[in-house]
Amino acid sequence: MIQLLVLQLATVFNDGFEQEDPCAGAIPEGFFIEEKTWQQTWSAPNGRVQATFPNSIGSAVPLFGKKQTLVVNSFVAGPNQYATIFFDPAQANSSIGYGQPNPALAMFVGISECRGDLRPKQFCSTFNNTGSVTWSTMNLPSTCPLIPGKTYWMTISPHSPEDLIFACPNPDQSGCDVQAVHRGQ
């Protein structure tokens, strides 16, 4: 009788704590995390114009990705928020201190509950050199659905989420970039 009670308690105890980690496998083996703040990611490279969440500075800023590195920044989704990240091939912009670009063939941009998540998700990520990702806390169609008050991670990387191929034009380069604008409300 005592052995059965111990076995039942152990089963209840284990059932309550044996949950699969939803972030397991999010970061590919051998990759590094480079954590930045929202301002560091979305402000002008020369520092003259500073971004405020959930926006960038209004003009395109470079999103630079390095080999085997995931650039991440966290944010807390607000109530009734809607934001879109638009990006396209990098171009020089001296007015913000953005010199010679090194355009990426493609860039992964994704939003997830997991830090450094390179796994593709419908509406929440893209891997392209021109495109957009839209997120919302208002249950809008064709957007990445976020929960207000919850912390999320944006991951940026010039690596294919399918096969981890480095998407810079020259594989010997340390990194490459796209230009992007983040507009929110």
- 14 assigned to some structural domain: no
Whether 72 has a pLDDT exceeding 80, the answer reads: yes
- 20 assigned to some structural domain: no
Domain count, the chain: 1
Position 158 scores a pLDDT of 93
- 144 assigned to some structural domain: yes
Q: Please say whether the beta carbons of 154 and 180 come within 8 A.
A: no
Angle at 95 between CA 54 and CA 47, to 5 degrees: 50
Q: Which residues contact 113 (CB under 8 A, 6 or more apart)?
A: 22, 23, 150, 151, 152, 153
Q: What mean pLDDT comes out for the span 3-15?
A: 42
Q: What mean pLDDT comes out for the span 33-43?
A: 89
- 53 assigned to some structural domain: yes
Which letter does DSSP use for residue 98 in this model? Answer: B
- 11 assigned to some structural domain: no
41 half-sphere exposure, CB direction, 13 A CA radius: 26
- 43 assigned to some structural domain: yes
Q: In terms of residue numbers, what domain contains 36?
A: 27-184
Position 2 scores a pLDDT of 44
Whether 185 has a pLDDT exceeding 70, the answer reads: no
CA dihedral for 6, 8, 14, 16, sign (positive or negative): negative
**Number of Cβ atoms within 10 Å of the Cβ of 131:** 16
- 16 assigned to some structural domain: no
- 7 assigned to some structural domain: no
Q: What mean pLDDT comes out for the span 154-170?
A: 92
Position 63 scores a pLDDT of 86
Q: Please say whether the beta carbons of 66 and 177 come within 8 A.
A: no
What is the identity of the amino acid at 102?
N
pLDDT confidence bin for 97, thresholds 50/70/90: confident
Tally: H helices and E strands in the chain: 2, 10
Q: With a threshold of 0.85, does the pTM exceed it?
A: no
Rounded distance, CA 55 to CA 84, Å?
Answer: 9
